[in-house]
Chains A and B, each alone.
Chain A
Amino acid sequence: MPNILFKLNYLDPGSGSLLVQLIAAGLVGGIGILLKVFWGRIKAFFKGEKYVPPAPESDEDDEDEA
């Protein structure tokens, strides 16, 4: 799996600028993602079923070329 800092591009994205995106994505999207995960659990609880986490997203866009 590629590192977010893995690829070299013509534009220097800046290490700090890459890392701050983790914070930005987490802050903005964090609540939404948490809700999504827990909604599944809550639904499963009330239906009396065992919670099965959704399968991870497929790696459709992964084009590894060194």
Chain B
Amino acid sequence: MSNARVSSSFRDPSGYLFTRNDTLYRQVNRSYAKAYDKFVDSGLYDELSTKGWLVAHQEVDIKADNAELAYRILQPQKVPFISYPYEWSFSQLKDAALLTLEINKLGLSKGMILKDASAFNIQFVDGKPILIDTLSFDIYRKGSAWDGYRQFCQHFLAPLALASLVDVRFMQLSRNYIDGIPLDLTSSLLPGKTRFGLSGLNVHIHIHAKMQQQYADKQGAANNAGLLTKDALLNMLNGLIKTVQSLTWQPGGTEWGEYYSATNYSDDSLKQKGELVGAFIEKGNPSTVWDLGANNGLFSREAAKRGIFTVASDIDPAAVEKDYLTVRGQGEKNLLPLVIDLTNPSPAIGWANSERDSFNDRGPVDMLLALALIHHLAISNNLPLESIADYFAATATWAVVEFVPKSDSQVQRLLSTRKDIFDHYTEEGFEEAFTRYFSIVEKKPVSGSERTLYLLKKK
């Protein structure tokens, strides 16, 4: 019997996550018994899980490691892939923020309140945000404020405001600040106009930052007893919802957002390429796929529509935003768009570098798709083909790789402004590098281009 406490599960004394024989469990501690009972008895759990707002669980009868502490053991439904807020597109973070606030309102109607508001507690399943921390609820006490408010502003409001009003690349700042972007930093970066008006940012960011400074290391004044009625708290939550809703970002103007319309692909050859990719996927028969450099997920859907769970990652926040909006709009399943820069993927962060996994640690995966990607890695990023093959072999059993030769107009574009130092960048060089690990199962020309599509299987 192997037990391992999940390394990110240490902050909250109400319980913790552990794995036993590859199954994930959540222990509810006795200290949390009263809140847990109310969470279930009030109907809050049922309503949340029925709405798909909270991951469902089963109470299981297995022996706890520390029986004197344990009150219940839960087996939560497994989430196919754990992603982090700094990997989400704007609307993913916005939807996660709104879900957190709606859950808190529903909790209040049942006499409970969220005791934290960590963006890491939200995951995406089938295009929808879902809360995964069952122990996030506390019994609401009359007159009390929201303990998770600071965290909400740092984890959600700050990056959304910065992305919306300054630059979308500020979404990445959450990677540096595991407990959310500091409000004084956010306050100094936001445009001056946000200090005025009714957007809510004046209070939630600017005044909030000032108050934090003023009350740092101080006990708060003792005369606020009961001032925050439940109605007032609900008003504040409704205000926060309006503030979040007012923050918008229009994808466009970035590198790849218009890729397919800007390239010389005709609709017909895109369709044929899709069919070819689909046929290769069926031959590999994977249960998980990572599409690297997925753009707006056009070819990721060849896997997802076959019922295969697919991560569609791309460096461009606009392409990922479009992909997510399509997934959400069409109610598509099995597809998770994420913003990942493959030349600098998410590192492991947090305490002992083990709270949040690196992108690679969340693999390996059955199959990689690398379509129209190799030339960017090899030529724009100077990566030797051997290094690319090393990485692919360490990450997946199967790979569908498109080789884009130097004569291709897209490669010519990359080479037009720099010296061609890539003598090894040929179809022969590509095959030599990849056949060190992979065997070539199939190789087909991509119609209407000089490109070749390979189906590779690890030796």
Contacts and interface: CB of A to CB of B under 8 A. Distances in A.
Contacts of B222: 3, 5
Interface in B143-168: 143-151, 153
B236 A15 contact: no
A20 B187 CA distance: 15
A15 B238 contact: no
Interface in A38-66: 57, 59-64
Interface stretch (B201-209, B245-253, B284-292, B443-451): B201-209
Contacts of A59: 142
Contacts of B228: 4, 21-22, 25
Given A25-B228, A29-B235, A61-B230, A20 B142 contact: no
Given A11-B116, A25-B236, A2 B226 contact: yes
Given A13-B150, A61-B230, A18 B203 contact: no
Size category of the A interface is 35 or more
B149 A9 contact: no
Interface residues of B, number: 56
Given A19-B220, A20-B203, A22-B227, A2 B235 contact: no
Contact of A9 (B138, B207, B227, B234): B138
Contacts of A26: 232
Which of A10, A13, A26, A59 is the most central at the interface, judged by chain B CB atoms within 10 Å of its CB?
Answer: A13
B12 interface: yes
A1 to B, nearest CB: 4
B141 A7 contact: yes
Contacts of B204: 20, 24
A22 B232 CA distance: 8
B450 to A, nearest CB: 57
B200 interface: yes
A60 B111 contact: yes
Contacts of A23: 203, 207
A15 B141 contact: no
B458 interface: no
A20 B143 contact: no
A22 B224 contact: yes
Contacts of A61: 111, 139-142, 230
A19 B149 CA distance: 11
Given A21-B236, A24-B236, A28-B239, A4 B225 contact: yes
B218 interface: yes
A62 B11 CA distance: 26
A27 B212 contact: no
A57 B231 CA distance: 10
Given A2-B142, A59-B142, A25 B232 contact: yes
Contact of A29 (B150, B213, B220, B231): B231
Nearest to B141: A2
Nearest to B38: A63
Contact of A13 (B142, B148, B208, B213): B148
Contacts of B230: 57, 61
A26 B151 CA distance: 20
26 contacts: A1-B143, A2-B143, A2-B225, A3-B225, A3-B226, A4-B143, A4-B226, A4-B228, A10-B12, A13-B148, A13-B149, A14-B150, A17-B150, A21-B146, A22-B145, A22-B227, A23-B203, A23-B207, A24-B239, A24-B240, A25-B232, A25-B235, A27-B203, A28-B242, A29-B238, A62-B141
